[in-house]
Copies of this chain bind each other. A is one copy, B any other.
Amino acid sequence: MGERQLLMIPGPTAVPQSILLAGARPMINHRGPEFKAALEACTEGLKRVFRTKDEIFILTASGTGGLEAAIVNFLSPGDHVLSVSIGVFGNRFASIASTYGAEVEKLDFEMGQAADPAKIKARLDADTGKEIKAVLVTHNETSTGVTNDLAAIGKVVREHGALLLVDGISSLVAIDFRMDEWGVDVMVAGSQKAFMVPPGLVFVAVSKRAAEAMKTAEMPRFYFDLQRARQYLEQGQTPWTPAVPQVLQLQAALQILEREGLDNCHARHARLAGAVRAGVKALGLKLLADESVASNAVTAVRVPEGVKVADLRGLMLDKYDVVLAGGQQSLKEKIFRIGHLGLVYETDIIACLGCLGLALKELGWDCDPGAGAAAAVQALRG
């Protein structure tokens, strides 16, 4: 009927009504006291979520803008960069670095696999001349539903000494992350993922090592210049007019997250992701990723023989008002993805798997259509 949708994509995610309305309050001066209070509260709240004592900047842009900021503020043209990629977003991070003149060496892993910290270590150990200035890595690869072992990767990069620049756009809040403890230098996260805030903001956390590198980095930057961002943040402002509604919404969201508690929030995502995987398997479908590395934010499912991704997504949308994501690039016809991050409850998972069973059956896939919902319920018993 189209009046209500169950939004099960890996971002933008559903936004709680209270957060929607926090963005609908009358406009305020972005250089006035109310905005200053909101920006400072958000910055401090984000530090608790990122588990860092260092700097965090809130930029008005999509996640990709934050990735650009993570490159151009810390590197110079000609810098040798090791790009660890396990999918579309890892490749994008590498492309940004190339675009701005870095010499990018790729260390790719197959789509659906996680990066092997031992292979990263081997490459870094071989770099005895310390040519590699930075390692780029994706924490949670949204295109394949795989989470990298960032604690282990952090350890090997810290032994080498290169900067560790991380795309955490879809991982923060959904998946455990410890910036300072793991030795991450730059971490990027987006408002439209597990933060439950509409798209429009990206957060860039900067370690002391990275702040030092910023002083000499020569890639050109203006809009994404973090030194300007720092200068204005000291006055409780942003250099350019920010997406004011999203900042007010972030403040409201951080309060909700603090009430739930970050550990509880991670546990909720893990529990619901487990139910999704159990339900999908009970419908006879195969997961793209091995469960040992499967993401708690998004699940990539191989579309079964005889069913087309577009037909499945179309039927789910048109008949059941459930929005699923397709695959990207080489996985376009091979997988569909279920997002389960942010404002997600048991009800959503069970409902989604129930309708997935109905749709698959209707498209000719031989399954017990109720098996997915039933398995999800069983998994949720714990």
Contact = CB atoms under 8 A, between A and B. Distances in A.
Given A24-B21, A220-B101, A223-B64, A241 B190 contact: yes
A27 interface: yes
Contacts of A30: 12, 199
Interface string A90-116: 000001100111000000000000000
A7 interface: yes
A29 B14 contact: no
Contacts of A24: 20-21, 23-24
Q: Which of A13, A95, A220 has the largest number of chain B CB atoms within 10 A?
A: A220
A240 B63 contact: yes
Contacts of A288: none
A63 B60 CA distance: 10
Copies in the complex: 2
A45 interface: no
A313 to B, nearest CB: 9
Interface size class of A (residues with CB under 8 A): 35 or more
A60 B199 contact: yes
B220 A220 contact: yes
A76 to B, nearest CB: 13
Contacts of A9: 29
A207 interface: no
A325 B68 CA distance: 32
Contacts of A278: none
18 contacts: A9-B29, A11-B241, A15-B26, A20-B24, A21-B24, A23-B24, A27-B198, A31-B325, A32-B323, A62-B242, A64-B239, A68-B223, A99-B222, A100-B220, A101-B220, A198-B243, A199-B241, A200-B245
